[in-house]
Amino acid sequence: MAKTSARKTAAKRGTRSSKPASRAPRAAGDKKFVYLFGRQTDGNGAMKALLGGKGANLGEMCRIGLPVPPGFTITTEVCTYYYANKRSYPPVLRAQMDAGIASIERQTGKKFGDLKNPLLVSVRSGARDSMPGMMDTILNLGLNDQTVEALAARTGNPRFAWDCYRRFVQMYGDVVLGVQKRADEDHDPFETVIHGLKHERHRQDVEDTTLTADDLKELVARFKALIKERAGKQFPNSPWDQLMGAVGAVFGSWMNDRAIVYRRKYNIPTEWGTAVNVQAMVYGNTGDRSGSGVAFTRNPANGAKEFYGEFLINAQGEDVVAGVRTPEPVSELKAQMPKAYAELERIRQTLEKHFKDVQDFEFTIEDGVVYMLQTRNGKRTAMAALKFSMDMYREKLIDWKTAVMRNPADQLEQLLAPVFDAAEAAKAKAIATGLPAGPGAASGQIYLNADRAVAAAEKGQKVLLVRIETSPEDLRGMIAAEGILTARGGVSSHAALVARQMGKVCVCGAAAIEVDYQARVVKVEGRSFKEGDWMSIDGTAGKVYAGQVKTAPSEIVAGLIHGDAAAKKTEKFKNFQQLMKWCSDASRMSVRTNADTPEQAANAVAFGAIGIGLTRTEHMFFEGDRIDAMREMILAETEDARKAALAKLLPYQREDFAGIFRALHGYPATIRFLDPPLHEFLPHTTEQQAELSKKIGVPAARIHQRVEQLHEFNPMLGFRGCRLGIGYPEISAMQARAVFEAAAQVQKEGIKVRPEIMIPLVGFKKELDLQIEVVHQAAREVQAEQKVKLNYMVGTMIEIPRGALTADEIAQSAEFFSFGTNDLTQTGLGMSRDDSGSFLPQYAELEIVKKNPFATIDTTGVGQLVEIAVTKGRATRPNLKLGICGEHGGDPASIQFFEKVGLDYVSCSPYRVPVARLAAAQAALQAKAGD
Ligand code: ADP
Ligand code: MG
Ligand code: MG
């Protein structure tokens, strides 16, 4: 196959690679599985699906002239093939790899396995989205007992050659041959060997860099013996055997536990697969004019526009991230290697200009020359994302719509999270400081291992995970913890990386704390903290406190909800307001809130909600003495007795509604009538029943009997929703009267009032008609009594499948629909949310459900019910108002779906309102871009 034609095919495929099915099947024989980068570059940054994120961007960096060591990428399609064909490769792969190696050889002048000038390569995994720590990289591949001597002779640096070799044997032994820490071991076995040798030969824990060539040679021998003993295999000598083994290990690691856990958390489909990158080595470990580092073009923790990163002199790749040696900030390079620093600055500018986003990149300096090994959009905290987006807009790097898209909606809540109360923190006095790696404030009971942290969190404790440093094994513990504290590691350490991504509060490299895993204690400043003791960390300032420290609301909450003038002057507050304004400009849907009290309604309005999408009136019946009146009503034996009890409830409801109407300043309020089954209001224990009997003068036996009578086998599907109002119309009449009397009262105060009465659980048009009549009757009465004209609507909740399927009929009577997606999911799936805990986790594991359907709407199933109801409802009543008030109303992925089906608004809890506004804006922008 001629090169030129291969390149054309590649370019063509790049744009279509996300839809392989639309392609005419090609003979496997001429398929391109290997893409070069370097002097010739086949791929580009847009080809992440095929080349993985790392491979695509290596290609892109070559295209813009950045110094990248040459190499090639084996496509994700090979990974798919590998798992579809009993872990084997397409037959043509080897020949294409041969050509790839030959190309690297031509560009470097080195030869794979050569005894004069050996080519060494790295083998690197690279999925579509980076998966930190999930896949393992092998460096210096191609070394054996012969080529190591050649490398030593060629460079005149035996120490360097043996350092490469011992790293290679160690990584290969671990990643490919599976020599890893056993359950009964506390340390990695290779590290134990290194530790032993250091103490034998140097009688102390010296730095790796002080090991001599001879020490390293000895380590190689001991490592090989360890591998032989543990894996029962000889270390492979042939470079090609090494290479094929490493490639297999990368593909194999796609299915390891850690990778699976990570994919599940971030909803990454298994089918995507990983690519493998094979790349010529450059060496950061040749001496003091070399090194290796990780940097961000801006500060990913707080968003500041500063070169941010760190490096280690005389080190290779993973040393920086591993947190074994503590690296130095990049700015130090300015003094130590001014030329290299200037080059890095140039690269930093080039990257931002080209990618127009903050980049997280990896580099190596070999004898003063800078090489780029990776770049990707930097993971960032919500705080940094906000500042990046606003700054880059002002710098004219991006437009306002891009700025909106740059703020991850599901992270936005971080900005509303509490911070430590300044006065309290000053009193508490920091006991240690570290790097501020994940902003926010967290207090928790400390645990020193991930399993115990998870167990404690499951018991409901607030947990702080404390580790010397974290590794991917700790992921579960990190997910469970409020915050993460490490004694070692820099801003690019694993802990910092993951914390940034998950929005966890994190302080790392707090060197003053001493973590004793065996004794399960943390010592600092002469004090000891046992597991279960409280500590607090401030991830914005990098401070560690003993005990619990009181928190204060974030500047945004302080400014919006409490009207704090100082908070309103902060940059964070102003940026947030700008973002929210743009969200309003971009959105088609509006955002309402689910609120049951005037305070909640006011908060939501402060956050930008433009109405209430759901008021659950039953919540009002639980407060104070009201519950007794409610119980009297339920226990009443005649209609008159029931009406008497209801009359006691009416003033309460009226006051509640009036408060809510006032808080809304003219925005609409959707008020749902009584919904839950009545037994939820009655006391269930004998003591409680006796107590109630004394209070309201109904015999305990009668109460007991009524509880029995109301018992249901499936309360969720029982006597609830509109069925109650149909059974006892006087309840609906009382509620309607309370709404209208409150409306009349507030309207007379000069405030516009727009009640929207919502009848729950409707499956038949007739159900709705019966209730609507009760509502209109009350409206007529109140309007006549009060001599006012009220502006109201009556509609229904669509929350059972029959309601959705007969929406055309129901829309004849309903003036609006609000999708109650909680119940619609329960009834649509035939799955009780409260009982799903016993099987849903396994369903997620088996990928029967890709996401929890109670958190993110099941678009393929329940979504169809929504779509049917939208279509049928609007066919009957073109101006039918459509909203959603389930849990899904605050979920960005679900909001995207609601945008697509054309709802008018989403409604969510007050503190989710900003999230929903951002998600609605992004959904609208995406929909427009998709047109
Ligand atoms: P990860 O996905 O875990 O970041 P990488 O494939 O990026 O793994 O490799 C980790 C580190 O290994 C890189 O940051 C780099 O420092 C080093 N490395 C990888 N390939 C090379 C290479 N060809 N030459 C020198 N160092 C390399
Ligand atoms: Mg790695
Ligand atoms: Mg990397």
Per-residue pLDDT tens digits for 659-697:
999 999 999 999 999 999 998 888 888 998 999 899 888
Q: Which ligand is nearest to the CA of 127?
A: 1
517 Cα–ligand 2 center, Å: 24
Atom of ligand 1 nearest to the CA of 374: 7
pLDDT of residue 9: 34
Residues recognised as catalytic: 494, 885
- The answer to whether 859 and 797 have CB atoms below 8 angstroms apart is no
Among protein residues, the one whose CA lies closest to atom 9 of ligand 1: 137
* Tokens representing residue 577 in the block: 């307001």
Residues 396-447 pLDDT 10s: 999 999 999 999 998 898 898 888 877 787 788 889 999 888 888 999 999 9
Decide: 384 and 300 in contact? Cβ < 8 Å: yes
- The sign of the CA dihedral 767, 769, 774, 775 is positive
Pocket test for ligand 1, best of 72, 129, 167, 362 (most atoms within 8 A of CB): 362
For residues 671 and 657, what is the distance between their CA atoms, to the nearest angstrom?
9
Q: 247 CA distance to ligand 1 centroid (A)?
A: 15
Give which of 312, 375, 308, 280 is closest to 38, Cα–Cα. Answer: 280
DSSP reduced 3-state for 910: helix
Residue 791: φ, ψ to 5°: -105, 100
Least Cα distance to 825 among 885, 886, 764, 775 occurs for 886
Strand 111-112 and strand 71-74: the pairing is unpaired
Q: What is the largest CA-CA distance in the chain?
A: 104
Name the closest-CA residue to atom 24, ligand 1.
Answer: 281
Q: Mean pLDDT of all residues in the chain?
A: 91
Q: Cα of 822 to ligand 3 centre, how many Å? A: 41
DSSP symbol at 472: G
**Atom 20 of ligand 1, nearest CA residue:** 122
**What confidence tens digit (pLDDT) does each residue in 451-473 have?**
999 999 999 999 999 999 888 77
CA of 279 to the centre of ligand 1 (A): 9
Please tell me the distance between residue 914's alpha carbon and the centre of ligand 3 in angstroms.
34
From the CA of 179, how far away is ligand 1's center (Å)?
Answer: 21
How far, in Å, is the centroid of ligand 1 from the Cα of 343?
Answer: 19
Of all ligands present, the nearest one to the C-alpha of 136 is: 2
List all residues 6 or more positions away from 488 whose beta carbon is below 8 Å from its beta carbon.
323, 324, 326, 468, 469, 508, 509, 511
Instruction: Give every residue of the chain whose pLDDT is below 70, as ranges.
Output: 1-29, 132-135, 318, 321-324, 492, 501, 503, 931
473 C-alpha to ligand 2 centroid (Å): 13
Measured in angstroms, how far is the CA atom of residue 645 from the centroid of ligand 3?
69
| Ligand 1 atom closest to 277 (CA) | 6
Q: How far is CA 221 from the centre of its chain?
A: 44
Residue in the block written with tokens 């989710």? 912
Question: Which residue's alpha carbon is nearest to atom 8 within ligand 1?
Answer: 137
User: Closest-lying ligand to the alpha carbon of 174?
Assistant: 2
Across the beta sheet with 514-516, the strand order is 514-516, 521-524, 527-530
CA dihedral 167, 172, 177, 183 (to 10 degrees): 50
Q: Which atom of ligand 1 is nearest the CA belonging to 363? A: 16
Ligand 3 centroid to Cα of residue 820, in Å, is 45
Residue having the nearest C-alpha atom to atom 7 of ligand 1: 374
The Å distance, Cα 321 to ligand 2 centre, comes to 8
Task: Tell me which residue of 223, 231, 165 sits closest to 189, measured CA to CA.
Answer: 223
Among protein residues, the one with the nearest Cα to ligand 1's atom 18 is 317
Q: How far apart are CA 441 and CA 433, in angstroms?
A: 14
| H helices present in 665-806, as ranges | 686-696, 700-710, 722-727, 729-748, 765-786, 801-805
The ligand 1 atom nearest the CA atom of 121: 23
Q: Which two tokens stand for residue 36?
A: 């070069």
The predicted-structure confidence for 138-181, as pLDDT tens digits, reads as follows 999 999 999 999 999 999 999 999 999 999 999 999 989 989 88
CA distances to 43, 126, 665, 919 from 17, rounded to whole Å, are: 12, 16, 52, 27
Describe the strand order of the beta sheet including 463-467 as a list of residue ranges.
430-433, 543-546, 534-538, 441-447, 463-467, 483-486, 505-508, 435-438
Q: Which 8-state DSSP code applies to residue 52?
A: H
Q: Which of 51, 58, 122 has the most ligand 1 atoms within 8 A of CB, as the residue to mutate? A: 122
Ligand closest to CA 372: 1
Cα angle value 560/565/568 (rounded, 5°) = 55
Q: Residues 830, 835, 836, 839: is their CA dihedral positive or negative?
A: negative
Pocket of ligand 1 (CB under 6 A): 69, 122, 124, 137, 139, 279-282, 292, 317-318, 362, 364, 373-374
The pLDDT of residue 323: 60
Residue where the block lists tokens 């990428």: 73
What is the chain's alpha carbon radius of gyration, rounded to the nearest angstrom?
A: 32
For a pocket test of ligand 1, which of 140, 170, 318 has the largest count of ligand atoms closer than 8 A to its C-beta?
318
C-beta of residue 52 within 8 angstroms of C-beta of residue 73: yes
Q: What residues have CB less than 8 Å from 744, skipping those under 6 apart? A: 782, 783, 786, 788, 790
The pLDDT value recorded for residue 321 is: 65
Distance CA 488, CA 324 (A): 8
Ligand 1 atom closest to Cα of 126? 2
Q: Which of the listed residues 316, 369, 374 should we mutate to test ligand 1's pocket, taking the one with most ligand atoms within 8 A of CB?
A: 374
Cα 779 from chain centroid (whole Å): 47
CA atoms of 687 and 700, how far apart (whole Å)? 10
Ligand with smallest separation from the Cα of 67: 1
- Which ligand lies nearest the alpha carbon of 175? 2
Q: Which ligand is nearest to the CA of 360?
A: 3
Distance from residue 877's CA to the centre of ligand 1 (Å): 60
Q: Of all atoms in ligand 1, which is nearest to the CA of residue 292?
A: 16
